[in-house]
């Protein structure tokens, strides 16, 4: 007979019962909301839908499509940031909490550069060219930021208990945010105006140009990253260090350099995401990095931390869930003012995934010492 | 006692002293590196607007303002730092000499160069667009009202001068160095504590003294600064090592005598805290009350982070739940239900509610890996705030309007405690702090406390020893939550209104910095940390003694957190056990070097480090 403790899924203690209750009720809420939404979409006078929320208006097909598209484009951005979390976690086994601030630095750099370009007149005359330019600048600045961060704050702590670098990274995040306040001022800062084709909805699938741009750029960077990690020599070194850094060192891989490269690559992706944020929202403030950072971490966990494809999938999941979830699940259940609960939904997805499947969609890839 | 006197500095063995190095034999690349980091730091400080903002706060009347002090500190620090030699067993340590002075001079010169370059750039370029503080005012301050070239020259000179002073500090013997440091701390402390001291002196009728000490427009008088420094210097030399002796004597005490000594010290501290507010004015009492609230929060977080080792980043959630439930239960204006309970009755309900909230938040997260747990609790902290803010629950909690007109806390009909009389708030906070201290002190020494520490040190081993880790950790979570709710309840009565904006994640982080700064797991350390940080710099929204710093305090908290983790993860006043955990390897190595290896144990098992005898 299998000992009781080894049988999975059978509740043992009060906590287990409570967790089972939480899992079931979370699934029930989601299912009820979805059912009510579907019922309402089929027939707006459906008694079930009326019972759940008498004032629900439902969504038109166009609205729903809009929500999905905005979710996908934001999710692509989260995915890009999540890559940084995921790669660092894969190699060093700790959460670089300050990674969201690297993203903010990217958005800020983009703001400064694009405003300078707009002053010089290049922004209007050659939009694509200046876009490439600000991406290059921001990628370089963000990689540098991430590398300096690693050198100053994380390298001296290598081998310490896992929570020590995590607390340090909270300090780094706090420091960068407030450095941005004291150096650049506490007010929100705007990107220069973009050409019309970026702002307006295109006949093609009814998507704004900016969102197409974001999805395309995210896909392109993802492919580049995939190529670097899977097809180049340093990518192989990264995977080897992630697999087992000691053995990798014995095989003649310079572990420190590889870790620096991982940070640089993650920083570059965050810089790219920062520019995408700038194009989507055209405004940036010192706290810009906080929420997207946390959501991107959630995305990395949802996809399975340490897994590149997982980070992107998780990003899209979180993006779509937070944009569609409030209106599709909460609104039909009679929750009012649902758009305020976007962020709460994103966190709820994280908590839900950790409750239901802690290793994420694709399963996690952890450094050797964390695999138990 | 010779070995146990300094258990916190592993590797401090008697080193061989070699003759001083020649003056110019330096690792110049290291000097340039340290100097350039300091130069960048100087430029950052200047551009952060700190000097301009702090210029009005005078430290020593005509000569030194806080603004210039922040610019002087870094060259001095690197000048001192570059002379540092790592003490290794068997490797000679060079006697400090001209070498250190030259090194300090060069480091300081490069550090000053940062400001010199900045001044020249300020005069010739306009980077106002991204950098908000790129202004002629800054140039004016750097150049003392003269031209840019003057600023360049003078800051090179000042940097080199301060660096040299830092190098010279290396030459001093331990006694004179202690005297110098004491003098500097005394003057700086007197200046920082100015408003507090003046206020207390007024209450006690000692204005004559403070009028002598401080200038009318703020800052310590030049003459009295000299006098104060002199007195403190003499005291430091005369009382050489007395403090350390007293402390080690105290540590040596055993059993009943130790308890007696502790009780005496505590009675003294309590008496001071009870008497002090009587002489203090409103502002000082307000400050004391704020510090007390944060002490209470920090003590609660200390149980969770310090004792059980659970990194809870959403601790503010319990503060928020405590505040909001107090508001709902006591305020007549509460939107949905308004039972208008008396504060003390409400407190009992609040404790139950927060305890349940602790269970509810704790149960799903308690099984997670430590770092996942941190982020998920952070998520919970944010969710709670978003829920209080949302329209959905605004029928209950008032949304962004919050709940206002919360009545004063009524204590058995004896007094009413509200924000209008901060002295009463402080006494109320004091009572709850005493309760929290007692609870955490008893818990730490109980079976449960030992279980927490076992879980903190190694969860797998703890489980193997028969500890139900889930229940134990959950209990820590709930105890922390309840302690946090006390603070929340007092906060609601004190401020008289609750808004979602008072419960940002920021608050969690500040409390975490306080706990880590003071020393995780050590009650006295946590209290001292809260008193120093919240008292001097201020809380997330509450001003401290250095009101001018309020723009920069979060920046400083961030830097402090990084620095503490890098340099002294066990905090300023560490708990002995925690230090042993963090420095296990180094201590084992020292023991091995001293030849205290247990030969029967297979060779590589070191004998217990000397601190074992201390606790």
Looking at the complex, report in whole angstroms how far the Cα of residue B442 sits from the nearest Cα belonging to chain A: 26
C-alpha separations of B1 from A258, B10, B317, B615 in Å = 47, 15, 46, 14
Which one of B561, B567, B584 would you mutate to disrupt binding with A, by most A Cβ within 10 Å of its Cβ?
B561
Say whether B560 and A171 touch across the interface (CB within 8 A). Answer: yes
Torsion of CA B42, B43, B45, B48, to 10 degrees: 180
CA of B96 to nearest chain A CA: how many angstroms apart?
A: 27
Whole-number mean pLDDT of chain A? 84
Helices (H), B214-281: 222-238, 242-252, 255-279
pLDDT exceeds cutoff 90 at A148: yes
Q: Token digits for B575?
A: 């708990």
Residue A1 has pLDDT above 80, yes or no: no
What residues of chain B, 376 to 405, have a C-beta less than 8 Å from chain A? 376, 378-380, 382-383, 386-387, 389-392, 394
| Cβ distance of A350 and B131 shorter than 8 Å | no
The pLDDT > 70 percentage for chain A reads 93
Between A223-232, A252-261, A307-316, A349-358, the lowest mean confidence (pLDDT) is in: A349-358
**Residue A14: predicted pLDDT:** 77
pLDDT of residue B157: 92
pLDDT reported for residue A99: 93
CB contacts, 8 Å: A177 with chain B: 554, 558
B363, B565, B582: residue with CB nearest A171: B565
> What digits encode the pLDDT tens for the residues B281-292?
888 888 889 999
- Say whether B561 and A166 touch across the interface (CB within 8 A): no
Looking at the partner chain, which of B363, B551, B569 has a beta carbon nearest the beta carbon of A18?
B363
The whole-number pLDDT of residue A372 equals 45
Q: For residue B451, what pLDDT is reported? A: 92
Q: How confident is the model at residue A371 (pLDDT cuts 50, 70, 90)?
A: low
B132 CB neighbours in chain A (<8 A) are 183-185
- Find the mean pLDDT for residues A187-207: 78
The CATH code of domain A59-370 reads 1.10.3470
Confidence of residue A338 (pLDDT cuts 50, 70, 90): confident
User: What SS3 class is residue A12?
Assistant: coil
Instruction: Tell if the CB–CB gap between A166 and B374 is shorter than 8 Å.
Output: yes
Q: Which residue of B has its CA nearest to A156?
A: B566
Q: State in Å, rounded, how far the first CA of chain B is from the last one.
A: 14
Where residue A8 falls among pLDDT bands split at 50, 70, 90? low
Reported ipTM: 0.88
- Cα dihedral value B587, B588, B590, B594, nearest 10: 140
Identify the closest residue of chain B to A96 by CA–CA distance. B371
Q: Residue B555 is nearest to which of A18, A178, A343, comparing CB atoms?
A: A178
Q: Average pLDDT by consecutive 10-residue portion of chain B (615 residues)?
A: 41 62 80 90 88 79 79 87 77 81 90 90 85 85 84 90 89 82 84 82 79 76 82 81 78 79 86 83 86 92 90 92 91 81 90 92 84 87 88 82 83 78 88 91 89 88 88 91 92 89 89 89 88 86 81 89 87 74 71 58 41 37
Q: How many CB pairs under 8 A join A and B?
A: 164
> Rounded mean pLDDT of A145-152?
92
Averaged pLDDT for residues A68-80 = 91
For residue A12, what pLDDT is reported?
67
Minimal C-alpha gap between A89 and chain B (Å)? 11
Alpha-carbon span B385 to B201, nearest angstrom: 42
Check CB contact under 8 Å for A157 and B380.
no
Q: Which residue has the higher pLDDT, A82 or A305?
A: A82
Query: What value does the mean pLDDT take over residues A115-124?
Result: 87
Give CB contacts under 8 A, 24+ apart, made by A168-171.
A168/B561, A168/B562, A168/B565, A168/B566, A169/A94, A169/A95, A169/A96, A169/A97, A169/A98, A170/A97, A170/A98, A170/B313, A170/B509, A170/B512, A170/B561, A171/B513, A171/B558, A171/B559, A171/B560, A171/B561, A171/B562, A171/B564, A171/B565
Residues in A touching B44 (Cβ below 8 Å) = 179, 183
Q: Name the more confident of A365 and A173.
A: A173
* Contact status of B464 with chain A (Cβ, < 8 Å): no
* B512 contacts A166? CB cut-off 8 A: no
Tell me: pLDDT of A34 over 70: yes
Chain A residue numbers touching B552 (CB-CB < 8 A)? 178, 182
Would the pLDDT of A347 be above 50? yes
CA distance B562 to chain A (A): 5
CB contact under 8 A, B555 and A335: no
Q: Which of B379, B552, B561 comes nearest A294 by C-beta? A: B379
Radius of gyration of chain A (CA): 22
Q: What is the pLDDT of residues A82-100, one digit of tens each?
A: 998 988 888 888 889 899 9
Residue that is written with structure tokens 């030699």 in the block: B85
Task: Kindly identify which residue of chain A lies nearest to residue B364, measuring between CA atoms.
Answer: A19
pLDDT of residue B14: 53
Judge: A348–B383 Cβ closer than 8 Å, yes or no. Answer: yes
Which B residues, 296 through 315, put their C-beta within 8 Å of a C-beta on chain A? 309, 311, 313
pLDDT at B610: 41
CA angle at residue A109 from A104 to A112, to 5 degrees?
A: 125
Name the phi and psi angles at B261, rounded to 5: -60, -45
pLDDT reported for residue B596: 58
> If you search the block for the tokens 């979710």, which residue do you land on?
A71
Question: Which residues 474-513 of chain B have a CB within 8 Å of chain A?
Answer: 474, 505, 509, 512-513
What is the radius of gyration, based on Cα positions, of chain B? Answer: 27
Greater model confidence, A37 or B450: B450
Burial class (CB in 10 A: 0-12, 13-18, 19+), A204: exposed
Nearest to A340 among B371, B386, B558 (CB): B386
- Paired strand residues for A201: A208
User: How many whole angstroms separate alpha carbon B43 and alpha carbon B55?
Assistant: 16
Q: Which residues pair with B65 in a beta bridge?
A: B58
pLDDT score for A346:
84
Contact A351 B380 (CB under 8 A): yes
Average confidence (pLDDT) over A25-41: 84
- Mutation target vs B (from A344, A357, A364; most B CBs, 10 A cutoff): A344
Q: Which of A13, A166, A337 sits opposite B391 (nearest CB)?
A: A337
């Amino acid at each position: 007979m299998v000992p009781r403790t080894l049988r999975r899924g059978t509740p043992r203690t009060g906590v287990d019962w409570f967790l089972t209750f939480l899992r079931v009720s979370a699934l029930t809420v989601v299912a009820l909301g979805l059912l009510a939404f579907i019922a309402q979409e089929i027939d707006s006078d459906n008694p079930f839908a009326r019972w759940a929320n008498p004032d629900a208006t439902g969504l038109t097909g166009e609205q729903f499509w809009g929500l999905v598209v905005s979710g996908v484009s934001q999710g692509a951005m989260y995915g890009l940031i999540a890559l940084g979390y995921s790669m660092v976690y894969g190699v060093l086994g700790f959460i670089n909490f300050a990674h969201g601030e690297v993203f903010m630095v990217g958005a800020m750099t983009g703001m400064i550069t694009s405003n300078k370009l707009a002053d010089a007149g290049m922004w209007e005359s050659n939009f694509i060219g200046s876009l490439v330019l600000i991406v290059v600048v921001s990628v370089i600045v963000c990689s540098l930021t991430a590398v300096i961060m690693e050198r100053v704050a994380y390298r001296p702590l290598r081998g310490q208990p896992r929570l020590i670098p995590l607390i340090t990274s909270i300090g780094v995040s706090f420091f960068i945010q407030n450095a941005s306040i004291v150096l650049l001022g506490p007010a929100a800062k705007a990107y220069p105006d973009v050409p019309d084709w970026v702002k307006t909805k295109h006949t093609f699938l009814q998507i704004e140009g900016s969102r197409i741009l974001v999805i395309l750029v995210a896909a392109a960077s993802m492919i580049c990253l995939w190529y670097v990690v899977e097809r180049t020599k340093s990518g192989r070194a990264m995977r080897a260090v992630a697999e087992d850094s000691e053995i990798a060192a014995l095989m003649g891989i310079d572990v420190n350099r590889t870790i620096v490269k991982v940070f640089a690559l993650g920083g570059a992706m965050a810089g790219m995401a920062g520019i995408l944020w700038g194009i989507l929202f055209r405004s940036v403030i010192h706290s810009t990095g906080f929420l997207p950072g946390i959501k991107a971490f959630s995305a990395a966990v949802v996809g399975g931390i340490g897994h590149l494809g997982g980070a992107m999938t998780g990003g899209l999941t979180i993006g779509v869930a937070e944009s569609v979830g409030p209106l599709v699940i909460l609104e039909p259940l009679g929750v009012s003012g649902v758009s305020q609960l976007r962020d709460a939904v994103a966190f709820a997805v994280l908590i839900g995934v950790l409750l239901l499947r802690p290793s994420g969609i694709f399963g996690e890839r952890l450094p050797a010492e964390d695999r138990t | 006692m010779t070995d146990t006197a300094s258990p916190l500095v592993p590797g401090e063995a008697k080193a061989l002293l070699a003759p001083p190095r020649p003056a110019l034999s330096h690792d110049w690349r290291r000097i340039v590196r340290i100097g350039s980091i300091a130069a960048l730091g100087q430029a950052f400080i200047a551009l952060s607007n700190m000097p301009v903002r702090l210029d009005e706060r005078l430290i020593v009347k005509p000569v030194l303002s806080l603004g210039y002090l922040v610019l002087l500190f870094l060259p001095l620090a690197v000048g001192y730092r570059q002379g540092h030699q790592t003490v290794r067993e068997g490797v000679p340590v060079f006697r400090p000499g001209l070498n250190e002075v030259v090194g300090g001079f060069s480091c300081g010169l490069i550090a000053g160069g940062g400001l010199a370059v900045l001044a020249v750039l300020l005069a010739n370029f306009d980077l106002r667009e991204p950098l908000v503080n790129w202004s002629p005012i800054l140039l004016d301050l750097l150049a003392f009202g003269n031209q840019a070239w003057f600023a360049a020259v003078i800051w090179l000179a000042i940097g080199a001068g301060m660096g040299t002073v830092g190098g010279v500090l290396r030459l001093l013997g331990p006694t004179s160095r202690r005297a110098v440091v004491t003098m500097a701390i005394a003057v700086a402390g007197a200046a920082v504590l100015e408003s507090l001291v003046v206020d207390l002196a007024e209450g006690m009728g000692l204005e004559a003294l403070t009028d002598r000490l401080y200038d009318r427009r703020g800052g310590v008088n030049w003459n009295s600064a000299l006098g104060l420094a002199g007195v403190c210097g003499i005291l430091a030399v005369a009382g050489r090592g007395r403090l350390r002796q007293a402390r080690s004597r105290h540590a040596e005490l055993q059993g009943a005598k130790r308890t007696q000594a502790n009780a005496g010290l505590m009675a003294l501290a309590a008496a001071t805290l009870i008497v002090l507010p009587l002489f203090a004015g409103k502002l000082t009492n307000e400050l004391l009350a704020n510090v007390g609230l944060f002490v209470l929060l920090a003590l609660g977080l200390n149980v969770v982070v310090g004792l059980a080792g659970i990194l809870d980043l959403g601790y503010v959630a319990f503060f928020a739940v405590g505040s909001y439930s107090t508001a709902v239960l006591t305020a007549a204006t509460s939107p949905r239900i308004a039972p208008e309970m008396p504060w003390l009755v409400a407190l009992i309900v609040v404790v139950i509610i927060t305890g349940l909230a602790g269970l509810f938040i704790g149960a799903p997260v308690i099984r997670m890996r430590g770092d996942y747990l941190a982020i998920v609790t952070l998520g919970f902290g944010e969710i709670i705030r978003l829920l209080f803010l949302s329209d959905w629950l605004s029928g209950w909690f008032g949304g962004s309007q919050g709940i206002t007109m919360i009545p004063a806390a009524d204590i058995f009909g004896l007094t009413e405690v509200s924000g209008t009389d901060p002295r009463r708030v402080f006494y109320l906070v004091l009572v709850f702090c005493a309760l929290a201290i007692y609870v955490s002190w008893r818990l730490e020494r109980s079976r449960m406390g030992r279980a927490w520490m076992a879980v903190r040190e190694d969860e797998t081993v703890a489980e193997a020893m028969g500890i139900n880790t889930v229940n134990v950790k959950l209990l820590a979570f709930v105890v922390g939550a309840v302690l946090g709710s006390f603070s929340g309840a007092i906060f609601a009565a004190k401020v008289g209104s609750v808004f979602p904006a008072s419960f940002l994640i920021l608050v969690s982080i500040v409390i975490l910095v306080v706990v880590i700064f003071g020393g995780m797991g050590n009650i006295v350390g946590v209290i001292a940390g809260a008193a120093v940080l919240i008292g001097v710099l201020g809380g997330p929204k509450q001003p401290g003694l250095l009101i001018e710093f309020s723009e920069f305090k979060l920046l400083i908290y961030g830097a402090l957190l990084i620095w503490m983790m890098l340099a002294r993860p066990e905090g300023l006043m560490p708990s002995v056990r925690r230090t042993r955990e963090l420095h296990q390897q180094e201590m084992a190595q020292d023991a091995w070097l001293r030849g205290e290896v247990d030969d029967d144990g297979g060779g590589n098992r070191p004998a217990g480090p000397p601190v074992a005898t201390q606790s």
